[in-house]
Structure 1
Amino acid sequence: MSFHSKRLFTSVIAGSFFLSGLPSAASAQEASTNASPPTESTAEFEIPSGDALVTVSDEDIARAAELGNADAAPYAAEHGISLEEAVERLRVQEAVGSVSEELSLSLGEDDAGTHIEHTPRFRVVVGTSGDDEDVELPAALTALDVPVDIVEREHSLADIQRDRESVQAELEDEGIEFDSYENVIDNNAVIEVVGESSAAEEIASEAAPLSLSGPPTVAIRSVDEPAETESGGLALTSCTAGFVVVRSGTRLLSTAAHCSNTQRLVTSDIGLGYVTGTYGNYYDAQVHSAPGVNLRNRIYTGTGSTNYRDITSRRSRADISVGDYVCKRGKTTEYGCSYVASKTVRTSAVPSSHATFIGMQSHITDGGDSGGPWFNGYTAIGIHHGRVGSMSVFMSVSFLGGATGASILTS
Structure 2
Amino acid sequence: MKRLTLVLMALAAVASPVGAVAPVGTSQRAVPTEGAVPRPARLPQTPAEALMQDGAAYARHYGVAIEGAVQRLRALQVSAAFTDRIRQAYRERLVGISIDHQPSLRIVVLLAGDAPVADTSIVVEGMILPIMFRTGAGATGDEIIRAMLQHGPELNALLPNARGMGLDARSGELVILVRASDAARFDLANLKRDAERLAGVPVRFDLADRPDNLSLAGGARIEGVDPADGKRYACTTGFAVTDGTRTGIATAAHCPDQVEYQDPDGGTIPLSFAGQWGARTQDVQINVSPVPQQPLFYADRRQGALRTLASARSRLSTRAGEWLCHYGESSGYSCAEVELTQFAPPGQLCAGACAPTWVSVRTHDCRSGDSGGPVFNGDVAFGITKGGSGGRNTRCNFYFYMSTDFLPAGWRLLL
TM-score by length of 1: 0.75
250-259 or 178-187, larger mean C-alpha shift: 178-187
- Rounded to whole Å, the distance in 2 between the matches of 1:281 and 1:290 is 27
Contact between 1:116 and 1:122, CA under 8 Å: does it hold in 2?
Answer: yes
- Superposition deviation, residue 97 in structure 1: 2.3
Contact between 1:22 and 1:265, CA under 8 Å: does it hold in 2?
Answer: no
1:9-408 equivalences in 2 (<5 Å): 19-22=5-8, 38=41, 65-66=48-49, 70-131=53-114, 133-134=116-117, 142-144=122-124, 145-156=128-139, 157-165=141-149, 167-171=151-155, 176=160, 178=162, 179-193=164-178, 195-196=181-182, 202-209=190-197, 217-221=202-206, 223=208, 225-233=210-218, 234-237=220-223, 238-266=234-262, 268=264, 269-291=268-290, 295-302=293-300, 307-348=305-346, 349-351=349-351, 352-388=353-389, 390-402=397-409, 405-408=410-413
- Superposition deviation, residue 75 in structure 1: 1.3
Aligned length: 357
- Rounded to whole Å, the distance in 2 between the matches of 1:374 and 1:363 is 15
- Check 1:26–1:401 CA distance in 2 against 1; reply closer, same or farther (3 A cut): closer
- Rounded to whole Å, the distance in 1 between the matches of 2:40 and 2:192 is 59
Contact between 1:363 and 1:387, CA under 8 Å: does it hold in 2?
Answer: no
- Superposition deviation, residue 320 in structure 1: 1.1
Determine which structure has the larger helix proportion and give its number.
1
Amino acid at match of 2:278: Y
- Rounded to whole Å, the distance in 1 between the matches of 2:12 and 2:376 is 26
Amino acid at match of 1:392: Y
- Superposition deviation, residue 37 in structure 1: 10
After superposition, give the CA deviation of every residue in 1:103-132 in whole Å (9 maximum; x if it has no partner): 133224432321111112111112123346
Amino acid at match of 2:414: L
TM-score by length of 2: 0.74
114-123 or 194-203, larger mean C-alpha shift: 194-203
Amino acid at match of 1:341: E
- Superposition deviation, residue 306 in structure 1: 5.3
Considering only aligned residues, what root-mean-square deviation do their CA atoms show, in Å?
A: 3.6
- Superposition deviation, residue 280 in structure 1: 0.8
For structure 1, the residue ranges without an aligned partner over 5 or more in a row are 1-16, 28-35, 41-60
Contact between 1:167 and 1:208, CA under 8 Å: does it hold in 2?
Answer: no
SS of the aligned residue for 1:99 comes to helix
After superposition, give the CA deviation of every residue in 1:162-219 in whole Å (9 maximum; x if it has no partner): 554565242356793641111222331222345546588645422414999xxx8212
- Rounded to whole Å, the distance in 1 between the matches of 2:199 and 2:103 is 30
203-212 or 238-247, larger mean C-alpha shift: 203-212
After superposition, give the CA deviation of every residue in 1:345-373 in whole Å (9 maximum; x if it has no partner): 11132233110111002142211111111
For structure 2, the residue ranges without an aligned partner over 5 or more in a row are 14-38, 224-233, 391-396
- Rounded to whole Å, the distance in 2 between the matches of 1:114 and 1:23 is 35
Contact between 2:259 and 2:270, CA under 8 Å: does it hold in 1?
Answer: yes
SS of the aligned residue for 2:95 comes to strand
Identity within the alignment, %: 25
SS of the aligned residue for 1:81 comes to coil
SS of the aligned residue for 1:365 comes to coil
- Rounded to whole Å, the distance in 1 between the matches of 2:40 and 2:238 is 23
- Rounded to whole Å, the distance in 2 between the matches of 1:191 and 1:82 is 36
Contact between 1:64 and 1:71, CA under 8 Å: does it hold in 2?
Answer: no
Contact between 1:282 and 1:356, CA under 8 Å: does it hold in 2?
Answer: yes
Contact between 1:170 and 1:203, CA under 8 Å: does it hold in 2?
Answer: no
SS of the aligned residue for 2:174 comes to strand
- Check 1:90–1:39 CA distance in 2 against 1; reply closer, same or farther (3 A cut): closer
Amino acid at match of 1:206: D
